Every structure is written in C-alpha cells, then in structure tokens.
Copies of this chain bind each other. A is one copy, B any other.
C-alpha cells in the first residue's frame, strides 16, 4: 500500500497528482491519476468519481483532455483515473502488437485464460484494490460514482451492474455496449475468457442488465457521427436490454459528435453534475 508520487500540478485551486504503486491484483506496478479539488484540503471527506478510459489510453488522456477539473473543483468532487491495463516488462501483450487487445486494452474484466490470467485482472483492480488504496490515502467518503469512455464506458456499466450498492451513480460516453456481439469484444473475450461464450455473459452490460438487482439509472451519451457506432458500440442493444428489463436509461444521441475527447469535453459537465447530484445525497 505504498504510494510513490510521480508528478503534481496545481489545477483550478486543487491538485492533479499521479502516483505509482504495486498492484497485487495485476502483479505489476501501476500509475494512476487523482484530481483533488480545493475542498480536499479542508478536512471534509469528499465523494469520488472513478473514470475508466478507452482503448490505447493511460491515466493521462482524461486528465489532460476532458476539461473536467474546472467543474470538479466547483462541485468538490475527487476524480480517480486508472490506467487501462496492466503494464510493464513481464506483462504479455497482443502477439501482433494490436491496439485493441493486451496493453492498453484490459477491458476491465478478470481474465481466466493463460498467459493473460496472471496480470489481466482489471476488474478486481478498479472495483476493489484501487478504491481501497484511495480510501486509505485520500479524504474520500464511501460515496462512489463510476464513468468512462468506450471500453471504459462499458467497464463503468459492468462495474456498477455487478456491484449493487457499491456505486451511487454511473455514466458512460460511447460505451462498447454489447461486447458479446462486436469484433472488439469477441477478440478480447475469446482470448481473456476462452471460447465458452456462456462465460462471456457476466462481462457484458446488455446481459447483466437483465439480472440487475439494483435499478441504478444509467446516463449514456453517444455521438451520431462516431465511426465505431454501428460496428462496435451498438447503443441500441443497450437500449433494448434496458427496456426489456425496465432498467432506467437515459441515452442521448448527440448530433455531429465523434468518438474523440472533443465529444467528451463537450458533455463532461452534464456527467459531473449527474454524479454530483447522486453523490451529494
């Protein structure tokens, strides 16, 4: 549970800090970022939003590009951004070095197949190990929200749907909503989880939503000019699953927006307010 500080930047009266630590769930060293709003220095315990990034990202993309700190400082919200996969010399990668599997593409699940199972346990890391570390070292309350983009948007939905009571709010930008039925998901799941597709269902938001024991409202933004919309993201499958299960979902199709951080920055304030409202209560 030792944290080594990597960097520290003052930001909107608070601090953007990066830390390195040994992650036992992942058997490797990991770097994560935390945004501490000015209120974190006032002795109060603050709610915390976990942000899960998409394919190829690290902890840096969200903190540098989303423009979330301004409103987080106003709302008194701590934001934690982990990396997107285990890292380091001993961690196996896609044999062809593809960007949609292996390093930068952990898919926030617990792999069961070798050589991945020894390191690729991002679910355990983001749901258990990292929050325990955050709660031990920073002034956070047990009010947790979770959000993310693309692979991480789906990760946020899965983490929330699998853990009733653990998160008070959840939202996603352009999630890979139904990985069971898209090329990115089929590639990752078949390698991390093996060929038995029945085992994949516990890592698919559309499948999980049918059995959800908690009706946590889902907020999803999706650009309608996103290049991955039809082939990979499939928000309509999420909508159908939510409708069939009677699960509250606000799905907003944003006209003209693509898959980039320009899209995320344009709507991050809505998401932060959505989380802050649920986390304040």
Contacts and interface: CB of A to CB of B under 8 A. Distances in A.
Contact of A257 (B10, B69, B265): B10
A70 B265 contact: yes
Interface residues of A, number: 23
B266 A13 contact: yes
B67 A265 contact: yes
Of the candidates A9, A16, A261, the one having the most CB atoms from chain B within 10 angstroms of its own CB is: A9
A190 interface: no
A128 interface: no
A66 to B, nearest CB: 9
A225 B265 CA distance: 27
Contacts of A9: 258, 260, 262-263
Contacts of A269: 70
A266 B223 contact: no
Nearest to A256: B10
B10 A258 contact: yes
B64 A11 contact: no
Contacts of A263: 9-11
A69 B10 contact: no
Interface of A: 9-13, 16, 64-65, 67, 69-70, 223, 225, 256-258, 260-263, 265-266, 269
26 contacts: A9-B260, A9-B262, A10-B223, A10-B256, A10-B257, A10-B258, A10-B262, A10-B263, A10-B266, A11-B262, A11-B263, A11-B265, A11-B266, A12-B266, A13-B266, A16-B262, A64-B64, A64-B65, A64-B261, A67-B67, A67-B70, A69-B265, A69-B266, A70-B265, A70-B266, A70-B269
